[in-house]
Structure 1
Amino acid sequence: MDYVDIDKYRAEKTLKIAQIPTNEDFGRSEKQLKKDLKVVRRALGEFQDTVYAHNKYSVLICLQGMDTSGKDSLIREVFKDFNVSGVEVHSFKVPTELELDHDYLWRHYLVLPSKGKFGVFNRTHYENVLVTRVHPEYILGERIPGIHGVDDIDQDFWDKRFRQINDFERQMHENGTIIFKFFLHLSKEEQRQRLLRRLAIREKHWKFSPGDLKERKLWDKYQECYQEAIAKTTQGHAPWFIIPADTKKAARVIVASILLESLKKYKDIREPALDDKILANLGTYENQLQSEE
């Protein structure tokens, strides 16, 4: 959408997350925003076909946000016009025993999108510098040499992880993966309202967990961790975008618009041209098919 200023949402290394607005509706009604999204996602779906045919780039979309920030519904609505064979969604939960037998990035390497495809990470490798930072005891399960207790997990440890994540993303980029990272920036009050709706509507009960309330008490700590993680890992080839998430429909339009406008800048992404010999004989092939009538 022409009213979405992409640069407005691009994270700076000097960001102060508490000063960034959590709500944006562009003065448009929900009905208008829904129509706008249909336009953008249709164009995005068409571009996906071109990426698939070109078959040299892959696209990785990383979604992070507090509970109830709207990650699941955003995935459902933004990618609705994609060919399902061209997009894969992966959600990363508590690591399994097999995953803990490898380094923390291993499970993410396994499901990176192949050339020509889009991959969506619903929660991402950043959980390893967010949830684990709020709950450093989780690190002990990784059985890292030299880490015997929580007291061994210092700032140098986290700085090392930020470097490793930057290296991971740089490697992806240099091998043809286009990376987008979105933080769905939700206000604490809006999260409260969404949790109350989960309790009030029977069909939404399954989404609620008492653990959500325990994590909510750690809100400020999470915000601090998000701020540092974003500041230390936003890169030109792997930018973070801070998306105001209090209005879900607007957040979807913003994300879809950033994806479409950014991808359109890759002028080399186009359908492959036909071989000259095939092109010169198109008329012959058409006649062969017409003669079958």
Structure 2
Amino acid sequence: MARQEILDRIQKYTQPFRVADGRDFRLDAFDPGDTCGLKMDKGDAAELLQRGTEWLAEEQEMLYAQDRWSLLLVFQAMDAAGKDGTIKHVMSGINPQGCQVFSFKQPSREDLDHDFLWRYVKCLPERGRIGIFNRSYYEEVLVVRVHEEILKAQNLPPQLVGKRIWDERLDDIAHFEDYLTRQGVVILKFFLNLSPDEQKKRFLKRLDRPEKNWKFSASDVKERQFWPNYQHAFQEVIRATATKHAPWYVVPADHKWFTRLVVAAAIVEAVEQLDLTYPKVDAAKKKEFAAIRADLVGEK
């Protein structure tokens, strides 16, 4: 299959979910069960996903060799939306030396003694690498917004914690991402859009299957009571930070196979636009290499 034909097919699974201008964004306009008309035989999806992961592996090698761009993939979702599985499947062919995954848990005391972006900035990918944030600095305007007692633990001066603190943090994040893109960091943000019914099914599966018990946490179920609060917070996040240079993808997450296809397609599409190539060797280097080759061939 020709490269352009694959790109044309890929666009069908990225454009409906890409948000590059969040001003009029409404989360309820996106269906968590959408599959763009693909049926459950998954044949087309499986083929495209395989081609996408193979293509991404080739592009990653050039990204690493060129050493100019870096790629930051941000994953946000409600519990059981499939972040871990999506990362595992989509990045299956990637060379581990060129990829870094960070999962951000509860902040440490040291983290709390710094600004809210500090611990995330430390983990940004260097040039030539792919960085994956499994949850990210967006937690500071999601879980911290839903549970404001967490904000109190951050020990900010009281006069700085006003009614506009969430708008201010969202502005800070938008400016931060604008800065990063001007330093050669390509940012793709994925919200895995799961329905509450599907989350319930996945929680029950974790309870009913012993090999899945380790994934279950009672605290995850408690968070279900805050579902409307989280949906509102996610909507505000995307409205404030979806831009052309750092778009959000509101990925349907009720069907894992389709989630993985959309994520892979979005990454392939973005990397392809970089027009990556291997570094070219100049005439002086070629001459040096020819001499080295002659010496090697001439060894006894």
TM-score, with length taken from structure 1? 0.93
Q: Which string of whole-angstrom CA distances, capped at 9 and with x for unpartnered residues, describes residues 140-176 of structure 1?
A: 111111259xxx542x111110111111111111111
d(CA) in 2 for partners of 1:18, 1:115: 37
Aligned runs of 1:93-132 on 2, under 5 Å?
Answer: 93-132=105-144
Shift of 1:32: 4.8
Aligned runs of 1:17-32 on 2, under 5 Å?
Answer: 17-25=27-35, 26-27=38-39, 29-30=41-42, 32=44
Shift of 1:27: 2.5
Moved more, 258-267 or 109-118: 258-267
1:246 match: secondary structure: coil
Q: Which residue matches 1:276? A: 283
Change in CA separation of 1:284 and 1:24 when aligned onto 2, cut-off 3 Å: farther
Q: Residue type matched to 2:57 in 1?
A: G
Q: Percent identity?
A: 35
Q: Which residue matches 2:26? A: 16
CA contact (8 A) 2:10 2:265 kept: no
Q: Which residue matches 1:224? A: 232
Moved more, 227-236 or 6-15: 6-15
Aligned runs of 1:127-142 on 2, under 5 Å?
Answer: 127-142=139-154
Q: Does 1:199 align with 2:199?
A: no
Shift of 1:289: 3.4
Q: Residue type matched to 1:24 in 2?
A: D
Q: Which residue matches 2:48? A: 36
Change in CA separation of 1:273 and 1:3 when aligned onto 2, cut-off 3 Å: closer
Q: Which string of whole-angstrom CA distances, capped at 9 and with x for unpartnered residues, describes residues 88-140 of structure 1?
A: 00011111111001011000010100011010000010000000111111101
2:72 match: secondary structure: strand
d(CA) in 1 for partners of 2:47, 2:61: 22
Moved more, 138-147 or 157-166: 138-147
Q: Which residue matches 1:59? A: 71
Shift of 1:288: 3.6
Shift of 1:208: 0.9
Q: Which residue matches 1:167? A: 175
CA contact (8 A) 1:62 1:124 kept: yes
CA contact (8 A) 1:140 1:147 kept: no
Q: Which residue matches 2:96? A: 84
Shift of 1:28: 5.3
Is there any run of 5+ residues in structure 1 with no aligned partner, and where?
Answer: none
Shift of 1:285: 4.2
Q: Does 1:240 align with 2:248?
A: yes
Shift of 1:35: 3.6
Q: Residue type matched to 1:213 in 2?
A: V
1:163 match: secondary structure: helix
2:158 match: secondary structure: coil
Is there any run of 5+ residues in structure 2 with no aligned partner, and where?
Answer: 1-5
Shift of 1:203: 1.0
Q: Which string of whole-angstrom CA distances, capped at 9 and with x for unpartnered residues, describes residues 194-231 of structure 1?
A: 00100011011111111111101111111011001111
Q: Residue type matched to 2:280 in 1?
A: A
Shift of 1:292: 4.2
Q: Residue type matched to 1:23 in 2?
A: G
RMSD across aligned C-alpha pairs, in angstroms? 1.8
Q: Which residue matches 1:146? A: 158
Shift of 1:33: 2.9
CA contact (8 A) 1:4 1:254 kept: no
Q: Residue type matched to 1:278 in 2?
A: K
CA contact (8 A) 2:170 2:241 kept: yes
2:157 match: secondary structure: coil
d(CA) in 2 for partners of 1:220, 1:205: 27
Change in CA separation of 1:27 and 1:289 when aligned onto 2, cut-off 3 Å: farther
